[in-house]
Amino acid sequence: MFDYVIVGAGFSGAVLAERLARVRNRKVLIVEKRGHIAGNAYDRYDDKGLMIHQYGPHIFHTRVKYVWDYLSEFTDWHLYHHHVLGSIDGRQVPIPFNLNTLRALLPAELADKLEQKLVLTFGYNVKVPILKLRETDDEDLRWLADFVYEKIFLHYTTKQWGMKPEDLDPTVTGRVPVYISKDDRYFQDAFQGIPKQGYTAMFERMLDHPNIKLLLNTDYREVLQTDWSRNEFKLFGSPYAGKLIFTGKIDELFDYEYGELPYRSLRFDFQTLDQERFQNTGTVNYPNEYDFTRITEFKHLTGQKHSYTTIVREFPQAYEKNQAGQNIPYYPIPQPHNQSLYEKYRDKAKAFERLVLLGRLAEYKYYDMDACVAKALKVFEQLS
Ligand code: FAD
Ligand code: UDP
């Protein structure tokens, strides 16, 4: 009956379902354990009628035009360029650390000298990861690197991940590099925005096709049995000869055979306030104060007009798969030994040609939304 079973209705699963159903006329069953589509990009109106992102603020940004064009088939955009301020030494200054941040935090003469050295050493409009900047030989730049590391990265990262920046893959802090520029935006990608009616509405349009059946509130194990030793699947109790696209946790798929992959989780604290505005930008980061990392005010992102406003604070926490409130694996933890463990699972998966692993959890990769879309479109081209 079904050519494809897709586990998970987030970006990875939904893009592939849409393409297979619409372009290849394949019959697709999506099995999603949550009560809604859109995965971690799910948004909804709260009790006061304010649009919120239930699993944390999601800003779409990409350099890749075909990814933007593809999603634009299902949504119009509220064109929005994200700005983040960091609360540092009692001031709110631009993040990523840039030439404006330098001037805001340091005396003019010192800022002049450091700006000149930065531009002469690295060039203008260049991004330098903090761990790279710390390797510099120049004494003044080394001082600056330590200053930025201490004020912006060390304590935020310790809260977010429970470890220091240098204990994680450098690409993690490299996401927010020191930017030798006066561009205060968080992302410089050519295409940026928030779906005009929201992410969930965009996903509804993607999945609205007679070839797509959606089972919500269903863990895949309730309907699909996998016998890896015999390379056999059963769907609703009957042999299933089709393909399985899996976007859940790869360690779960193989019953934790080689042990658990670690993830980082979050607790979100939403607050609706009887005031039009709470803060001056979409997000304010708090590297050195409080137990939360950042506060986001959704109205900046969505452009919604409302006399109230809703904000969310993000409290990082350990992931525990059997502990309600801590059991959503928001982030894979990029470290070499975790990557090695992931690769053991991935190598095992290679033996099963009917199995495709896709997305943040199945590939154990710190993907942004656009990367999930690009990967799903690429995989689609390889499928029959
Ligand atoms: P998911 O969205 O996690 O979807 C996987 C789905 O599979 C889930 O719905 C899950 O319920 C389901 N599933 C899992 N196991 C099972 C099972 N056993 N049975 C059935 N269903 C199952 N990206 C950006 O580009 N910009 C941002 O601003 C941004 N902000 C973020 C903020 C936060 C706090 C977080 C955590 C992530 C953010 N991201 C952002 C990343 C973005 O959320 C991911 O790139 C994207 O959602 C991944 O899509 P996915 O389909 O791979 O995974
Ligand atoms: N980071 C930091 N201070 C900041 C912002 C980011 O130390 O003010 C580090 C931190 O380790 C974080 C990583 O950079 O986890 C990536 O930040 P990003 O905003 O991309 O994280 P995400 O939005 O994916 O949670």
Q: pLDDT by residue (tens digit) across 264-299?
A: 999 999 999 999 999 999 999 999 999 999 999 999
pLDDT at 375: 98
Find the residues whose C-beta lies inside 6 A of ligand 1: 7-13, 31-34, 39-41, 55-60, 219-220, 247-248, 266, 330, 359-361, 367-370, 372
- Asked if residue 94 has a cis previous peptide bond (ω within 30° of 0), the answer is no
**Residue 173 beta carbon below 6 angstroms from any ligand 2 atom:** yes
Question: How much is the pLDDT for 27?
Answer: 98
User: Model confidence at 95, in pLDDT bands (50, 70, 90)?
Assistant: very high
Regarding the domain with residue range 4-81+194-262+332-382, which homologous superfamily does it belong to in the CATH classification? NAD(P)-binding Rossmann-like Domain (3.40.50.720)
The model's pTM:
0.98
Quick: pLDDT tens for 326-349: 999 999 999 999 999 999 999 999
% of the chain surpassing 90 pLDDT: 99
Instruction: Report the pLDDT averaged over residues 363-376.
Output: 98
Tell me the mean pLDDT in the region 347-357: 97
pLDDT tens, 31-42? 999 999 999 999
Structure tokens that stand for 297 in this block: 């005010």
pLDDT at 384: 76
- Write the residue with the smallest CA distance to atom 14 of ligand 1: 248
Task: For ligand 2, pick from 151, 157, 186, 289 the residue to mutate: most ligand atoms within 8 Å of CB.
Answer: 157
User: Ligand 1 test: best mutation among 6, 16, 32, 40, most atoms within 8 Å of CB?
Assistant: 40
Taking CA atoms only, the protein residue closest to ligand 2 atom 21 is 175
pLDDT at 71 over 80: yes
Percent of the chain with pLDDT over 70: 100
For the chain, residues classed under CATH 3.40.50.720 are 4-81+194-262+332-382
**For residue 179, what are the β-bridge partners?**
98, 127
Distance between CA atoms of residues 185 and 191, nearest Å: 13
pLDDT band (50, 70, 90) for residue 221: very high
User: Average pLDDT, whole number, for the chain?
Assistant: 98
